[in-house]
Chains A and B, each alone.
Chain A
Amino acid sequence: AQKITQTQPGMFVQEKEAVTLDCTYDTSDQSYGLFWYKQPSSGEMIFLIYQGSYDEQNATEGRYSLNFQKARKSANLVISASQLGDSAMYFCAMTPSGGYQKVTFGTGTKLQVIP
Protein backbone atom coordinates (compact mmCIF):
# COMPACT_ATOMS: atom_id res chain seq x y z
CA ALA A 1 0.00 0.00 0.00
CA GLN A 2 1.07 3.54 -0.64
CA LYS A 3 0.59 6.48 1.69
CA ILE A 4 1.10 10.21 1.25
CA THR A 5 1.39 12.59 4.22
CA GLN A 6 1.00 16.34 3.96
CA THR A 7 1.40 17.87 7.39
CA GLN A 8 0.62 21.49 6.51
CA PRO A 9 -3.14 22.05 6.30
CA GLY A 10 -2.59 25.70 5.41
CA MET A 11 0.25 28.00 4.40
CA PHE A 12 0.62 31.72 3.77
CA VAL A 13 3.25 33.29 1.53
CA GLN A 14 3.95 36.84 0.51
CA GLU A 15 3.59 37.59 -3.17
CA LYS A 16 6.91 37.21 -5.06
CA GLU A 17 8.39 35.07 -2.28
CA ALA A 18 9.22 31.37 -2.55
CA VAL A 19 7.32 28.73 -0.59
CA THR A 20 7.90 25.03 0.13
CA LEU A 21 5.00 22.61 0.54
CA ASP A 22 5.95 19.44 2.40
CA CYS A 23 5.19 15.89 1.32
CA THR A 24 6.39 12.58 2.67
CA TYR A 25 5.44 9.20 1.32
CA ASP A 26 5.55 5.56 2.22
CA THR A 27 5.67 2.65 -0.19
CA SER A 28 7.16 -0.79 -0.54
CA ASP A 29 7.47 -0.39 -4.31
CA GLN A 30 10.97 -0.02 -5.74
CA SER A 31 9.70 1.99 -8.69
CA TYR A 32 7.10 4.70 -8.36
CA GLY A 33 6.09 8.14 -9.54
CA LEU A 34 5.43 11.27 -7.52
CA PHE A 35 3.14 14.09 -8.62
CA TRP A 36 1.90 17.43 -7.49
CA TYR A 37 -1.51 18.73 -8.48
CA LYS A 38 -3.08 22.15 -7.94
CA GLN A 39 -6.78 22.47 -7.23
CA PRO A 40 -8.14 26.03 -7.40
CA SER A 41 -11.54 26.91 -6.01
CA SER A 42 -13.06 25.96 -9.37
CA GLY A 43 -12.35 22.34 -8.43
CA GLU A 44 -10.32 21.09 -11.37
CA MET A 45 -7.14 19.15 -10.58
CA ILE A 46 -4.27 20.65 -12.55
CA PHE A 47 -1.10 18.63 -13.08
CA LEU A 48 2.01 20.58 -12.06
CA ILE A 49 5.05 18.33 -11.93
CA TYR A 50 6.21 14.70 -11.98
CA GLN A 51 9.23 12.93 -10.48
CA GLY A 52 10.16 9.32 -11.16
CA SER A 53 11.76 7.38 -8.35
CA TYR A 54 14.80 6.58 -10.48
CA ASP A 55 15.26 10.10 -11.79
CA GLU A 56 18.53 11.47 -10.47
CA GLN A 57 17.73 15.08 -11.17
CA ASN A 58 15.02 17.00 -9.34
CA ALA A 59 12.13 17.81 -11.64
CA THR A 60 11.48 21.42 -12.60
CA GLU A 61 8.60 23.00 -14.51
CA GLY A 62 8.78 26.76 -14.78
CA ARG A 63 8.32 28.20 -11.28
CA TYR A 64 7.74 24.74 -9.80
CA SER A 65 10.47 22.42 -8.64
CA LEU A 66 10.27 19.15 -6.77
CA ASN A 67 12.84 18.63 -4.03
CA PHE A 68 13.14 14.83 -4.11
CA GLN A 69 15.01 13.19 -1.24
CA LYS A 70 14.60 9.46 -1.75
CA ALA A 71 16.31 8.33 1.44
CA ARG A 72 14.01 10.55 3.49
CA LYS A 73 11.00 9.62 1.34
CA SER A 74 10.14 13.24 0.81
CA ALA A 75 8.97 15.08 -2.29
CA ASN A 76 8.51 18.72 -1.38
CA LEU A 77 7.14 21.22 -3.88
CA VAL A 78 8.91 24.55 -4.17
CA ILE A 79 7.08 27.44 -5.81
CA SER A 80 9.30 30.38 -6.63
CA ALA A 81 8.15 33.98 -7.09
CA SER A 82 4.62 33.31 -5.79
CA GLN A 83 1.72 34.93 -7.60
CA LEU A 84 -1.80 35.67 -6.41
CA GLY A 85 -3.07 33.03 -8.83
CA ASP A 86 -1.09 30.40 -6.95
CA SER A 87 -3.65 30.52 -4.13
CA ALA A 88 -5.21 27.05 -4.19
CA MET A 89 -5.15 23.58 -2.65
CA TYR A 90 -2.05 21.58 -3.50
CA PHE A 91 -2.04 17.79 -3.46
CA CYS A 92 0.95 15.51 -3.41
CA ALA A 93 0.30 12.12 -5.00
CA MET A 94 2.02 8.92 -6.02
CA THR A 95 1.57 5.91 -8.26
CA PRO A 96 3.28 2.59 -8.61
CA SER A 97 5.30 2.15 -11.75
CA GLY A 98 5.35 -0.89 -13.92
CA GLY A 99 1.62 -1.25 -13.89
CA TYR A 100 -1.56 0.70 -13.88
CA GLN A 101 -1.45 4.05 -12.25
CA LYS A 102 -3.89 4.16 -9.39
CA VAL A 103 -3.06 7.49 -7.79
CA THR A 104 -2.89 7.86 -4.03
CA PHE A 105 -3.37 11.43 -2.85
CA GLY A 106 -2.45 13.26 0.32
CA THR A 107 -4.92 15.42 2.22
CA GLY A 108 -3.65 18.61 0.64
CA THR A 109 -2.22 21.97 1.69
CA LYS A 110 -4.16 25.18 1.22
CA LEU A 111 -1.81 27.91 0.03
CA GLN A 112 -2.80 31.54 0.28
CA VAL A 113 -0.67 34.19 -1.41
CA ILE A 114 -0.80 37.56 0.29
CA PRO A 115 -0.40 40.72 -1.79
Chain B
Amino acid sequence: GAGVSQTPSNKVTEKGKYVELRCDPISGHTALYWYRQSLGQGPEFLIYFQGTGAADDSGLPNDRFFAVRPEGSVSTLKIQRTERGDSAVYLCASSRGGRGTTDTQYFGPGTRLTVL
Protein backbone atom coordinates (compact mmCIF):
# COMPACT_ATOMS: atom_id res chain seq x y z
CA GLY B 1 0.00 0.00 0.00
CA ALA B 2 1.00 3.63 -0.43
CA GLY B 3 2.87 5.36 2.33
CA VAL B 4 2.67 8.96 3.45
CA SER B 5 3.30 11.34 0.60
CA GLN B 6 4.31 14.98 0.77
CA THR B 7 4.41 17.64 -1.88
CA PRO B 8 6.41 19.46 -2.99
CA SER B 9 9.63 17.64 -2.16
CA ASN B 10 11.52 20.93 -2.36
CA LYS B 11 10.29 24.48 -2.05
CA VAL B 12 12.41 27.59 -2.48
CA THR B 13 10.77 30.89 -1.66
CA GLU B 14 11.67 34.44 -0.83
CA LYS B 15 11.45 36.03 2.57
CA GLY B 16 7.99 37.38 3.20
CA LYS B 17 6.17 35.01 0.84
CA TYR B 18 3.39 32.57 1.68
CA VAL B 19 3.86 28.81 1.27
CA GLU B 20 1.69 25.73 1.53
CA LEU B 21 3.00 22.25 2.18
CA ARG B 22 0.78 19.25 1.57
CA CYS B 23 0.61 15.87 3.29
CA ASP B 24 -1.34 12.83 2.13
CA PRO B 25 -1.49 10.25 4.96
CA ILE B 26 -1.79 6.50 4.75
CA SER B 27 -5.35 5.56 3.89
CA GLY B 28 -7.42 4.90 6.97
CA HIS B 29 -5.07 6.63 9.39
CA THR B 30 -7.02 9.07 11.53
CA ALA B 31 -4.06 10.70 13.25
CA LEU B 32 -1.74 13.08 11.40
CA TYR B 33 1.29 14.94 12.67
CA TRP B 34 3.57 17.69 11.42
CA TYR B 35 7.18 17.98 12.53
CA ARG B 36 10.00 20.34 11.62
CA GLN B 37 13.58 19.14 11.35
CA SER B 38 16.41 21.65 11.29
CA LEU B 39 19.84 20.66 10.05
CA GLY B 40 21.62 18.34 12.46
CA GLN B 41 18.64 18.04 14.79
CA GLY B 42 15.89 15.57 15.48
CA PRO B 43 12.37 16.39 14.35
CA GLU B 44 10.36 18.76 16.55
CA PHE B 45 6.62 18.41 16.98
CA LEU B 46 4.43 21.12 15.47
CA ILE B 47 0.81 19.99 15.45
CA TYR B 48 -1.35 16.89 15.74
CA PHE B 49 -4.72 16.17 14.13
CA GLN B 50 -7.19 13.54 15.20
CA GLY B 51 -9.66 13.45 12.35
CA THR B 52 -10.42 16.97 11.17
CA GLY B 53 -9.59 18.78 14.37
CA ALA B 54 -6.23 19.97 15.65
CA ALA B 55 -5.93 18.15 18.97
CA ASP B 56 -2.65 19.83 19.89
CA ASP B 57 -1.03 22.77 18.14
CA SER B 58 1.33 23.63 20.98
CA GLY B 59 4.40 23.10 18.81
CA LEU B 60 3.55 25.78 16.24
CA PRO B 61 6.23 28.44 16.75
CA ASN B 62 4.02 31.49 16.17
CA ASP B 63 0.85 32.66 14.47
CA ARG B 64 2.49 32.68 11.03
CA PHE B 65 2.08 28.90 11.06
CA PHE B 66 -1.29 27.29 10.52
CA ALA B 67 -2.45 23.83 9.46
CA VAL B 68 -5.74 22.40 8.29
CA ARG B 69 -7.22 18.99 7.61
CA PRO B 70 -10.73 19.79 6.40
CA GLU B 71 -11.88 16.30 5.44
CA GLY B 72 -9.85 14.27 7.88
CA SER B 73 -7.39 13.04 5.27
CA VAL B 74 -5.06 15.41 3.42
CA SER B 75 -3.48 18.16 5.51
CA THR B 76 -1.90 21.45 4.50
CA LEU B 77 0.67 23.33 6.55
CA LYS B 78 0.56 27.02 5.77
CA ILE B 79 3.31 29.49 6.56
CA GLN B 80 2.72 33.21 6.14
CA ARG B 81 5.38 35.91 5.77
CA THR B 82 8.16 33.34 5.65
CA GLU B 83 11.45 34.09 7.36
CA ARG B 84 14.91 32.67 6.75
CA GLY B 85 14.67 30.85 10.07
CA ASP B 86 11.74 28.84 8.72
CA SER B 87 14.13 26.97 6.43
CA ALA B 88 14.00 23.31 7.43
CA VAL B 89 12.61 19.95 6.40
CA TYR B 90 8.93 19.66 7.26
CA LEU B 91 7.91 16.09 7.98
CA CYS B 92 4.43 14.67 8.08
CA ALA B 93 3.50 11.42 9.80
CA SER B 94 0.32 9.44 10.21
CA SER B 95 -0.86 6.67 12.50
CA ARG B 96 -4.01 4.63 13.04
CA GLY B 97 -4.95 6.87 15.93
CA GLY B 98 -7.06 6.13 18.97
CA ARG B 99 -6.53 7.17 22.55
CA GLY B 100 -5.25 4.62 24.98
CA THR B 101 -2.94 2.97 22.52
CA THR B 102 0.56 3.63 21.36
CA ASP B 103 0.51 3.92 17.60
CA THR B 104 3.51 3.72 15.38
CA GLN B 105 3.88 6.86 13.32
CA TYR B 106 4.86 6.43 9.70
CA PHE B 107 6.66 9.35 8.12
CA GLY B 108 6.61 10.87 4.69
CA PRO B 109 9.75 11.89 2.78
CA GLY B 110 9.46 15.50 3.90
CA THR B 111 9.40 18.87 2.18
CA ARG B 112 12.65 20.80 2.21
CA LEU B 113 11.79 24.47 2.56
CA THR B 114 14.41 27.07 1.77
CA VAL B 115 13.67 30.72 2.44
CA LEU B 116 16.07 33.07 0.69
Contacts and interface: CB of A to CB of B under 8 A. Distances in A.
Interface of A: 4, 32-33, 35, 37, 42-47, 50, 52, 91, 93, 95, 97-108
Nearest to B102: A33
Interface string B21-51: 0000000000101010000111111001010
Interface of B: 31, 33, 35, 40-45, 48, 50, 55-56, 59, 89, 91, 93, 95, 99-110, 112
Please name the 10 residue pairs, one residue from A and one from B, whose CB atoms are nearest each other, closest first. Answer: A105-B42, A45-B107, A33-B102, A44-B109, A97-B102, A102-B45, A43-B110, A105-B43, A91-B42, A107-B42
Name, among A35, A45, A93, the residue most crowded by chain B CB atoms within 10 Å (CB to CB). Answer: A45
Contacts of A103: 33, 35, 43, 45, 93, 105
Contacts, number: 70
Given A43-B110, A45-B93, A102 B56 contact: yes
Name, among A44, A50, A91, A100, the residue most crowded by chain B CB atoms within 10 Å (CB to CB). Answer: A100
Contacts of A104: 45
Nearest to B112: A43
Given A103-B33, A107-B41, A44 B108 contact: yes
Contacts of A102: 33, 45, 48, 56, 59
10 contacts: A32-B102, A42-B109, A44-B107, A97-B102, A100-B50, A102-B45, A102-B48, A105-B42, A105-B44, A108-B42
